A and B are shown apart, each in its own frame.
Chain A
Amino acid sequence: MSAHTRVVVTGLGLVTPLGLDVQSTWQAVMDSKSGVRALTEDWASDINSRIAGAIDADLSNVIDKVAARRMDRSSQFAVIAAKQAVADADILSNVDPLRLGVAFGTGIGGLSTVLQQMEILAERGPDRVNPLTVPMIMPNAAAALIELEIGAKAGAHAPVSACATSAEAIAWGTLMIRTGRADVVVVGGTEAVINRLAMAAFAAMRAMSNRNDDPATASRPYDTGRDGFVMSEGAGALVLESLDHAKARNARIYAEIAGYGMTSDAHHIAAPDPDGAGAARAMLAAVADAQSQLSDVVHLNAHATSTPLGDIAEATAVRRAFGSHADRIAVTAPKSSIGHTLGGAGAIESILTILSLVNRVIPKTINISDFDANVELDVVKDAHREIASSEILALNNSFGFGGHNVCIAIRSY
């Protein structure tokens, strides 16, 4: 196999329930905090799952109020995270706009805006519907708004694959650079659907935790008491750059996107394939794309959403892909702290994986009081774990309803 153009990460941005930037979010993860709270809002009172990783911070200090009026909340998070990432990379004055791209998605999109406008339509009629409704609810809104914000002209793409969305965006951005369409691509994903319909709909699927009396421990991947995922909101953004471009401008390099794997299960519209075959193929493809050996993988940032079936299916897939080497892969599940940000998760968790490689420490999975013996993985759970200073390969898994499996292989730099 011929060598790819190497793609590195030179900027990061985060908006999560744990903090409105990278530093505060990482610190909260290292402090083993939970971003989940009780939903005491009236609209949630009759919904079975009344907990969520809601972002309560005032955004008016970090986004212009007129710009914000024209965006769904999911796009507001996206633009805030993307601006952080491009500032962190100091890229905008150092790249030809014709060589700057965007790949940024959302799992669900502007549903909160749809609901607001439906209410206006029902109560006040069609003449009162916001003229900006269409550009607020379209699934490519976040990608387009980032493209406008940073002046990216190489192309703006909005992959959509439910909870694998932003991992897929990382893959698309990597592909844009490898195929020569761009030198720099801002990638990531966002979600903001803590609203009555989305909460009711996921609750109707019996997909969410009902541990309403103890929000902070409700997201508990790999614990025998796990009873579903916890809805969360937020966004993650990364600046991907060709290694040559980054070196030429002396950029600070966090890590390398060494490879990716993307497969589909063709099994069920929502349930994971219990054999984990599709997820295993995605992991194997990512390692092969990174031109590495299975034995090079030392860390896995798992999808692990805290559902009874999903956590086991992923563990089975890891075993299937790696065999006995699975014993030597340190696994962590950041949704234990953040909850599940759906379309934001792949990017947020790839950023946490990168920070683990940079800081040489894997944060522990919180809320495991009774480890599920059916999970045959080395889960980092009692204390954070240091990792060796040598060159290492880590994986980040993201799976989405529809049977989308995406694995990103990240190499320390």
Chain B
Amino acid sequence: MTAEEVMHEMAVILDEVAGVSADQVAMDKSFTDDLEVDSLSMVEVVMAAEDKFGVKIPDEEVKNLRTVGDAVNFIVKSS
């Protein structure tokens, strides 16, 4: 999957799990500061992304995923 495709799917997940509208989602946006995804919702986002992309995102990696771009790049690299 390309970064663009992953980013599109991440926007779908963020809308469903946290009510973030797709036009807010961009590579440089921070999950907590910009998109107001709380820590429990972040766990849900990670679980949904793991299911969607067939990857494993370990807990110790999640804290490094500050922005949407961090997550997209991790997923592209792992899948």
- Residues on A facing B (Cβ under 8 Å): 64-66, 69, 127-128, 130-132
Contact = CB atoms under 8 A, between A and B. Distances in A.
A66 B18 contact: yes
A131 B17 contact: no
Contacts of B9: none
Interface in B9-66: 17-19, 40, 43-44, 47
Q: Is the interface of B mostly helix, strand, loop or mixed?
A: helix
Contacts of A65: 19
A65 B19 CA distance: 8
Interface of B: 17-19, 40, 43-44, 47
14 contacts: A64-B19, A65-B19, A66-B17, A66-B18, A66-B19, A69-B17, A127-B47, A128-B47, A130-B44, A131-B40, A131-B43, A131-B44, A131-B47, A132-B44
Contacts, number: 15
A132 B17 contact: no
A46 B79 CA distance: 45
A72 to B, nearest CB: 15
| A-B pairs with lowest CB-CB distance, top 8 | A66-B19, A131-B43, A131-B40, A132-B40, A131-B44, A66-B18, A128-B47, A65-B19
Contacts of A66: 17-19
A125 to B, nearest CB: 12
Contacts of B47: 127-128, 131
A231 B43 CA distance: 35
A21 B17 CA distance: 28
Given A66-B18, A69-B17, 6 more contacts: A65-B19, A66-B17, A130-B44, A131-B47, A132-B40, A132-B44
